[in-house]
Chain A
Amino acid sequence: METPENTDQQQPKNVEPFDARKANRRTFISSLTLLAGGAFAYWGWDQLYHAPKETAADATAGARAPLRKVLDMNGELAERVVSPDHLSKTYPKAMAAKKPRVNGKIGLNNKAIEDWKLTVYKSTSENISLTLEEIKKLPKTEFAFEFKCVEGWSQISHWGGVKFSDFIKHYNLTEQAAMAYVGLNTPDKKYYIGIDMPSALHPQTLLCYEVSGQPLPPEHGAPLRLIIPTKYGIKNLKQIGNIFFSNERPPDYWAELGYDYFSGL
């Protein structure tokens, strides 16, 4: 009888004579492993899918607790990668949209524009109050970049304002900027965000008062908004009323609705 062994070639390791007991045992063990593994995976998925939402004690809410843990770890990892040298690509002004897209008006109030002032809390007891004219006296930075919304769309738009890092230096806030986070909110405090300090001090982060070369219209957050190209649009707060500093994560509107706190790009 012809068998693989009596060919002139050497028998390879992957062929062996049929042994019913051995074959049955291997079939049994493998099948059982796959079924048990499948059942375990299903159980694990079921546990995760129905995992309790995180407790709302922290600055975040709305996500399944185990997922939030990983999201925060991702954020910590990404924060370490944030570098003043990693710039969002800029474009010629001519490439910018003439009418940049407006998406969301939470916390916007036309009445608040008239007698607007920016309040910067140096500590719980000390704050400074600034008018737009004062802020405009600082060096102006402008650029066009691809604004990115968490929804997935993006658009090149042109913005002008004061670098947040210049603002910090000019108003002697370096001590405050040594803290881990900066918090910003609208005058009515209905929209509020927290930004990690490396991202806030990134050279492209602007306290912005111009879009497409014109003063900000109300729907884009007049008179002063945040433009932070290293974050999704949800962190680009419109109509800034208050700025404060903290070592704890400041409350964040979208992070309380299940979104990533870091939301960095």
Chain B
Amino acid sequence: MKYIVNKHPTAIRWFHWINFPLLAIMIWSGLLIYWAYDPYAIKLFGHTFFKFFPEWFYQKYHIKRRLAEGMAFHFVFMWLFAINGLLYVLYTAISGEWRYLLPKKSSWREAWLVLLHDLHLRKTAPPQNKYNAAQRIAYTAVIVMGAGSLITGLAIYKPAQLYWLVWLCGGYKTARLIHFTLTILYCLFFVIHIVQVLLAGWQNFISMVRGFEVTDASTAKIIVKRDNEDGNA
């Protein structure tokens, strides 16, 4: 006999799919802004390994001389991006979904085992609930990053009015660097996320659309057991 296991609440699916285009627009418009002053590079011992960004990149994606346009989009969509993110955090806090998402004490050790398993260096993965240890860490980290983007973004946006935020970020220049670094990290997150979704297969993907997975009895039983252990029954 098969079972329906409800995995992702409707609200979380909405937040997730709304966030995707919003973050894409924020990153794109951010690039239009960054071009106007693009000093960042990965340097080691005086050698430049990568410049953010190479000329061909600007050319290919038509980034150049669009500062005003970038700022206009950025300072409009920042509202939607922030509101969606804040509502998501509020929802997870109130609904109790945070129990599946926040790392547990054991997550830090287990995440390592998950990584070894994913890299096919270890046969078994640690037992998990809705999300494995690595996911818990990743999905919490990306929310912390989101908060970081909002805080550093506000510090760059109104440094005179919000001088205390600038101080918190370690200065105006540092705030801009952190804001940029977080953007690069989102892109890395996105790549890993897509690869993992592809590897996890159809059931996992479609559950982010329809909310549930279809499983056999033994899997469902495990889910029941773990859920009770986690106090989520």
Residues in A lying within 8 Å of B, measured CB to CB: 1-4, 7, 9-19, 22-23, 26-27, 30-31, 34, 37-38, 41, 45, 62-64, 66-68, 70-71, 74, 78, 81-83, 86-89, 146, 148-154, 229-230, 254, 257-260, 264-265
Contact = CB atoms under 8 A, between A and B. Distances in A.
A4 B221 contact: yes
Contacts of B73: 67
B33 interface: yes
Interface stretch (B53-61, B138-146, B182-190, B203-211): B203-211
B204 to A, nearest CB: 14
7 contacts: A12-B233, A13-B233, A34-B209, A67-B76, A88-B163, A151-B36, A154-B173
B176 A152 contact: yes
B218 to A, nearest CB: 7
A259 B71 contact: yes
A18 B228 CA distance: 21
Given A30-B211, A154-B173, A15 B71 contact: no
Interface in B114-149: none
B21 A45 contact: yes
Main secondary structure of the interface of B (DSSP, over half): helix
A17 B3 contact: yes
B163 A23 contact: no
B17 A265 contact: no
Interface of B: 1-7, 13, 17, 21, 25, 33-34, 36-37, 39, 67-69, 71-73, 75-76, 79, 158-161, 163, 166, 172-173, 176, 206, 209-212, 214, 217-218, 220-221, 223-225, 227-228, 232-233
B76 A71 contact: yes
B68 A14 contact: no
B36 A17 contact: no
Nearest to A204: B160
A152 B32 CA distance: 11
A87 B34 contact: no
Contact of B212 (A17, A26, A265): A26
B68 A62 contact: yes
Contact of B163 (A3, A45, A89, A150): A89
B158 A78 contact: yes
Minimum-distance CB pairs A-B, first 7:
A152-B37, A258-B68, A18-B2, A30-B210, A151-B36, A67-B72, A14-B6
Nearest to A258: B68
A4 B220 contact: yes
A86 B192 CA distance: 42
Given A4-B220, A12-B228, A30-B211, 11 more contacts: A3-B220, A3-B221, A9-B233, A13-B233, A15-B5, A16-B3, A27-B209, A30-B209, A30-B210, A74-B75, A254-B68
B188 to A, nearest CB: 23
A162 to B, nearest CB: 20
